[in-house]
Structure 1
């Protein structure tokens, strides 16, 4: 299955998403449980997710290298490549997670910020989760120290949002437009890696 480039706006890889754009879309938009669950359980989306071969697979250096890069370029303590199933999120790669999540490499959706990226189909930028109506009751704030969050959707070739690349900080943080663009660029590399992996073409790897 061919995967498309990372999208800032509904699958457009050339979109230049600013903080103002994202804030304007999110303003006044709280979680809508029924529509949210329906979007996550959409059969076409789940089919694309399973075709990506991300779920329940071992950690791979090619993905771990990209999470390390994402964390480094924005100086964030946590970076994740997440695959969002209908009732859980699986971490294909994780850097900086506390235990037991670092070992388990998955959480229930109750702890997921990334699900909002998948259902919104656009970047989600959170300065302080404790004050954001979309996630203020998410137990990951308490259990995992998720305070500031920046998540970029990963799209399959058919346009389905299957997961995210995200970076997390344990303190409130205003994400700069340049940082959003940097993480979009790393996310594009994640999609390329998935494309190579699912097409059977070995990716070039540094020694």
Structure 2
């Protein structure tokens, strides 16, 4: 964790690789529009993990863009495990999120998967705006490191309840991140 010159705690890590990442994302044509194949991947990721939300996320200097996004289709019915009052009060995530919201910027800078079974157990992460604004209580994410060595973004799942992801969750998210990177490489090579 770092501090700014005025002595305030910065909850979002400094990302020195962002300018290089943005150039690579532009060359790949990623990070600025929804992608149906990435949406399908996000839906499969949610199904595999049983999470409410899942994303294929590309990160620039200022924002995160969910090129692939899965949200519950019925936020007030059986798919949403929260009570209807809380569900109505919570804002569904859109395609764009500030860089200081969420945990994916940490994953990109660390270049390692991150498992938060209950974000409230980690003071560094419990104060993130997504906890209060969206009601996020658990997170599982892995970086998308391409053949050039650049961390393009992440895949992740989040839930509104603590989740015992454990080692199986970690292995799943890492395996699916590798699958997504392969899909990106096939596109770059003209295979998709």
Tell me which interval the TM-score lies in, with the shorter structure as reference length.
0.7 to 0.9
Q: 1:101 aligns with which of 90, 93, 104?
A: 93
1:81 is matched with 56
Question: Is 2:187 the counterpart of 1:193?
Answer: no
Q: 1:44-90, CA deviations, whole angstroms, 9 ceiling, x for partnerless residues?
A: 23322332322112331x21221112111121111110001111000
- The alignment's C-alpha RMSD in Å is 2.1
Question: Is 2:4 the counterpart of 1:45?
Answer: no
2:34 is matched with 58
Superposed structure 1 runs of 4+ greater than 4 Å apart = 97-100
Q: Structure 1: 5+ residue runs without aligned partners?
A: 1-30, 203-207
Q: 2:111 aligns with which of 105, 121, 128?
A: 121
Q: 1:130-158, CA deviations, whole angstroms, 9 ceiling, x for partnerless residues?
A: 23133222111111221100110001211
Q: Is the CA contact 2:21–2:60 (under 8 Å) kept in the aligned structure 1?
A: no
Q: 1:130 aligns with which of 116, 120, 126?
A: 120
Counterpart CA distance in 2 for 1:88 and 1:174 is 29
1:110 Cα deviation after fit: 2.2
Q: TM-score, normalised by structure 2?
A: 0.78
Q: Structure 2: 5+ residue runs without aligned partners?
A: 5-11, 73-89
Partner SS, residue 115 of structure 2: strand
1:200 Cα deviation after fit: 2.3
1:38 Cα deviation after fit: 4.0
Q: Is the CA contact 1:114–1:163 (under 8 Å) kept in the aligned structure 2?
A: yes
Q: Is the CA contact 1:154–1:191 (under 8 Å) kept in the aligned structure 2?
A: yes
Question: Is 2:124 the counterpart of 1:154?
Answer: no
Using CA pairs below 8 Å that are at least 6 residues apart, which structure has the higher relative contact order? 1
